[in-house]
Amino acid sequence: MNGLRVGFGVEDVMALRSQVLARSAALRDVRAASEANGALAVPGRAPGAGFAETLHNALKQVSAVQAHSSDMQVAFERGQVTDVAQVMLAREQAGIAFEATLQVRNRLLTAYQDIMRMGG
């Protein structure tokens, strides 16, 4: 079989599970760090700089996930990647990351509009 993998075995499922758990733990760590940054004032830093930096880093991560998905799709089309499950998983991750980004944007926009209404 020229060393090509055809099936999707238990080891693959367990590896995907481990990746999902690791990313979930990373998201919890980011949330905890974000809450800690919001609760503690850092002298000499402009208010909101921690939030802006966190948001910028999150957007960079979403961009990286989308780029990885695109690279996987191109590699599949060229025959360099033969595991369709990996390509589909990368596409789903990119889609979920994009949807989460849209939800955050919508919440931020709503919060901004609420604040603007309070000032008037």
Q: What is the pTM of this model?
A: 0.55
Model confidence at 54, pLDDT cuts 50, 70, 90, reads confident
- Cβ atoms 95, 73 nearer than 8 A: no
CA dihedral 96, 99, 103, 104 (to 10 degrees): 70
Where along the chain do its domains lie? 8-40, 49-120
In angstroms, rounded to a whole number, what is the distance separating the alpha carbons of residues 42 and 82?
49
**Tokens 């509009």, located at residue:** 113
Structure tokens at 1: 């079989």
For residue range 9-35, list pLDDT tens digits in order.
677 777 777 777 777 777 777 777 666
| C-beta atoms surrounding 91 within 10 Å | 16
SS3 5: coil
pLDDT at 40 over 50: no
For residue range 78-95, list pLDDT tens digits in order.
999 888 999 999 999 999
Instruction: Show Cβ contacts of residue 55 under 8 Å, excluding neighbours closer than 6 positions.
Output: 104
